[in-house]
Amino acid sequence: MILFTQIAEGVDEETWLFHLQRGDYSRWFREAIKDESLAEEVEKIEKKKRCLRRATLTHIR
């Protein structure tokens, strides 16, 4: 998770939004990390029209 947050903070906004709109972050937490509750929280953020990277990272930490 630490590595994810470090990488996420260095990703440009266009790339972040691309993966956000596809639901990649919640899918990764659900399928790779096996953390359903975190995936659900991130999915709520992804579904909002404007999702800030900071909000996603706050839930991860």
Mean pLDDT of the chain: 85
* Sign of the alpha-carbon dihedral angle for 47, 33, 37, 58: negative
Q: Identify the band that residue 49 occupies on the pLDDT scale cut at 50, 70 and 90.
A: low
Both tokens assigned to 26: 């919640």
pTM, full prediction:
0.72
Q: What pLDDT is recorded for position 5?
A: 84
Residue 16 confidence (pLDDT):
87
With cut-offs at 50, 70 and 90, classify the pLDDT of residue 7.
Answer: confident
Kindly give, in sequence order, each residue whose CB lies less than 8 Å from that of residue 40, ignoring residues fewer than 6 positions away. 26
> 47 near 31, Cβ under 8 Å?
no
CB count within 10 Å of CB 39 equals 21
